[in-house]
């Protein structure tokens, strides 16, 4: 690697490095497949860029809210605060397709939204989900859920639909 490339890589943010690594992983995977077919030499496998610990911590702390939860709040449904702990949000994101949806009949468009009772039932049955009742949260859980709920509200009210 030449010095110019080293300087450019040194200036990249951790998000850019992560995207770059994802692209490299795809190219490396394609090269390995072609090599198995006997059409390519794997000696050109690209090396990944390192991401500093600070960037990885930010990536791990980044909270993602599923659009289905935003739709639920947009239609004025109560979402328990306990749903907003990191553990529960991760679990909801990974199991989103398994939840039942209900149709809101009192709105002319009759949109489908998540059934929170079904969500609570499935979260209580799962071992890797967190607490589902607000009163069961301890101080740290309340604080984490409140911070995430504030981020959720900001995302909800900054979206074009809610405006």
> 28-80, pLDDT tens digit by residue?
777 777 666 666 555 555 565 566 666 556 555 567 788 888 888 888 888 89
In 3D, which of 77, 99, 75 has the Cα closest to residue 88?
99
Higher pLDDT: 9 or 147? It is: 147
d(CA 131, CA 134): 8
Residue 103 — φ and ψ, nearest 5°?
A: -95, 130
Helix (H, G, I), strand (E, B) or coil at 61: helix
Q: What values do phi and psi take at 114, rounded to 5?
A: -65, 145
17: burial class by Cβ within 10 Å (0-12, 13-18, 19+)?
Answer: middle
DSSP state of 107: S
Whether the predicted model's global pTM rises above the 0.85 cut: no
Q: Are 118 and 73 in contact (CB under 8 A)?
A: no
Q: How far apart are CA 127 and CA 84, in angstroms?
A: 17
Confidence (pLDDT) at 59: 55
Q: How confident is the model at residue 109 (pLDDT cuts 50, 70, 90)?
A: confident
């Amino acid at each position: 690697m030449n010095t110019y490339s080293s300087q450019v890589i040194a200036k990249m943010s951790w998000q850019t490095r992560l995207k770059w690594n994802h692209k490299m992983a795809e190219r490396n995977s394609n090269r390995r497949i072609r090599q198995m077919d006997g059409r390519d030499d794997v000696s050109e496998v690209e090396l990944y860029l390192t991401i500093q610990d600070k960037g990885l911590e930010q990536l791990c702390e980044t909270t993602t809210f599923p659009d289905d939860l935003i739709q639920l709040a947009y239609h004025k449904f109560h979402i328990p605060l306990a749903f907003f702990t990191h553990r529960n949000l991760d679990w909801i994101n990974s199991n989103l397709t398994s939840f039942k949806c209900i149709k809101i009949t009192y709105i002319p468009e009759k949109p489908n939204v998540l059934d929170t009772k079904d969500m609570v039932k499935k979260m209580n049955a799962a071992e890797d989900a967190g607490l589902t009742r607000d009163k069961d949260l301890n101080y740290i859980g309340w604080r984490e859920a409140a911070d995430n709920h504030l981020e959720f509200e900001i995302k909800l009210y900054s979206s074009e639909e809610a405006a």
